[in-house]
A and B are shown apart, each in its own frame.
Chain A
C-alpha cells in the first residue's frame, strides 16, 4: 500500500457534535483528496488540496471543511455532524495532476446517531 493512514478507522458520534478525520501520508505527494462512499453513489469528492494551505471544494462539500498545514496531513472536519454524513470516508493522494493516478487510504467508517 502507498504510505497513507487514516484515523480514526471507526467512529460513532452523535448528531450535532464536531468530528475531525485525519489523513497522513509519507509519500510527499502534492495532491490530497477526501471522498465519501455511499451505496448507490460510488465515490464522491468532498474537498481536495493541491498544496499546503491550498484547498478547493468538490461536489459534496456542504457541511465539511478541510485544512492542510503540512504536506503530509489533510484534515476533514464535520462542524456539526448529521445523520446524512454517516458514510465511509476515504483519503487519496496523487503525485501529479497530469496523470492523476490516485492511491487510497484504508478508510474511516463514520456513524452519526
Chain B
C-alpha cells in the first residue's frame, strides 16, 4: 500500500462545475498536508496547505482535512479550463522525516 494515494484520473468536469480531488494517507500521526498543481512540463506549484481538521478556503479552492479518516481533499469551485493540470497531494508524516511524501497525482481536465 502506498503511503499517499490518489486516483490517477483523468477526472473530467465541465467548465463552471466543482472538481473534487481526493487523497488518503497511511500514517495516522501525519501533521501537515499540501496540495500542489503541476501543469504539463512545469514544476509543482503550491496552492494550499492545511494543518488542522476542517475546511480551509482560498479563493476558488477549499482544502478539507479529516485526520480520523486519514483523508484530505481539494475542491475547486467554478472550474476553468486553466485549472486543467495534475494535482499532487503531499503529506509530512510525523515519523521523524523532514521531507514530504507525495501521491502520484490526479489529472484534472476541465471541458469548455
Contact = CB atoms under 8 A, between A and B. Distances in A.
Interface string B18-55: 00000000000000101000000011111001010000
Interface in B5-19: none
Interface residues of A, number: 24
Contacts of A35: 102
Contacts of A58: 99
B43 A33 contact: no
B92 interface: yes
B14 to A, nearest CB: 27
Chief secondary structure at chain A's binding surface: strand
B41 to A, nearest CB: 9
Contacts of A104: 43-45
Nearest to B103: A42
Contact of B98 (A31, A42, A103): A31
A42 B89 CA distance: 10
Contacts of B62: none
Contacts of A97: 98
A37 B35 CA distance: 16
B34 A101 contact: yes
A34 B60 CA distance: 31
Contact of A45 (B32, B51, B99): B99
A68 B101 CA distance: 22
A74 interface: no
Interface of A: 31, 33, 35, 40-45, 48, 50, 56, 58, 90, 97, 99-107
8 contacts: A42-B103, A43-B44, A43-B90, A45-B100, A45-B101, A90-B44, A99-B49, A101-B49
